[in-house]
């Protein structure tokens, strides 16, 4: 089985369970990931081959509060505050990954939340 190619440094989409979205462009995504150490402290489940993941809302808010300033933090905090569930779903919008190695139960939750025609996903 071939691994998913590493994505170009593209944007990230943060979605809640109702489809509300905050989209970060290439530069915004790169700087946010640098400032937050790749969102690792807030991640509860992630694809091992791309940057798609599930983040815990409370942990994300804490992480963003502790990170240096970033211009999209207010939008992300608003999305987190309004989220109907305890998770937000991050889609690596530049990746062509099919998430074949994302095996933990979080994948099904992520897939259900982001399953829409504009998001390239594949259920293993």
Is residue 123 assigned to a domain?
A: no
- Structural domain range at position 34: 12-114
* pLDDT for position 103: 87
Other CB atoms closer than 10 Å to residue 58's CB: what's the count? 11
**Total domains present in the chain:** 1
> From CA 120, how far away is CA 5, in angstroms rounded?
14
Is residue 66 assigned to a domain?
A: yes
* pLDDT for position 105: 86
Is residue 122 assigned to a domain?
A: no
Q: Which residue ranges in the chain fall short of pLDDT 70?
A: 1-9, 116-124
Q: How far is CA 8 from CA 11, 56, 101, 113, 121, in A?
A: 9, 25, 19, 24, 17
Is residue 120 assigned to a domain?
A: no
Is residue 2 assigned to a domain?
A: no
Is residue 5 assigned to a domain?
A: no
* pLDDT for position 122: 34
Is residue 3 assigned to a domain?
A: no
Tokens representing residue 94 in the block: 């530049």
* pLDDT for position 9: 59
Nearest alpha carbon to residue 64 among 54, 53, 75:
75
Q: In this structure, are residues 120 and 23 in contact, taking their beta carbons and an 8 Å threshold?
A: no
């Amino acid at each position: 089985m071939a691994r998913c190619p590493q994505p170009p440094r593209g944007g990230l989409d943060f979605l809640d369970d109702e489809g509300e979205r905050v989209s970060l462009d290439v530069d915004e995504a790169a700087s946010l990931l640098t400032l937050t150490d790749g969102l690792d402290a807030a991640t509860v489940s992630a694809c091992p081959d791309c940057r798609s993941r599930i983040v815990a809302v409370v942990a994300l808010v804490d992480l963003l509060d502790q990170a240096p300033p970033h211009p999209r933090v207010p939008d992300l905090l608003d999305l987190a505050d309004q989220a109907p569930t305890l998770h937000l779903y991050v889609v690596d919008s530049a990746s062509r990954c099919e998430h074949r190695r994302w095996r933990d139960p979080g994948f099904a939750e992520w897939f259900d939340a982001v399953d829409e025609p504009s998001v390239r996903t594949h259920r293993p």
